[in-house]
Amino acid sequence: MCSTCVGSSARLLGKLERLLGNFTEDAHLRLNLTLALHVLNMRGI
């Protein structure tokens, strides 16, 4: 992976954590977010 891609990914994760909470270290929050994304995907939203 290129260094630009890594930097972009890190910035995106930082933004998401500011919005949603510390999901990279909180297993319950990560599970809730995963389930919510699956539900949205199944609904076609």
CA dist., res. 28 & res. 13, Å (int): 17
Q: Is the pTM of this model over 0.85?
A: no
pLDDT for the residue 5: 75
Cβ pair 29, 22 in contact under 8 A: yes
If phi > 0 it is left, if psi is from -120 to 50 it is alpha, else beta; for residue 44 that is left
Model pLDDT, residue 45: 64
Instruction: Please report, in tens digits, the pLDDT of each residue of the chain (45 residues total).
Output: 577 777 788 888 889 889 988 888 899 998 998 898 899 899 876
pLDDT at position 1: 58
| Cα 3 to Cα 7, 10, 14, 16, 17, distances in angstroms | 6, 11, 17, 20, 21
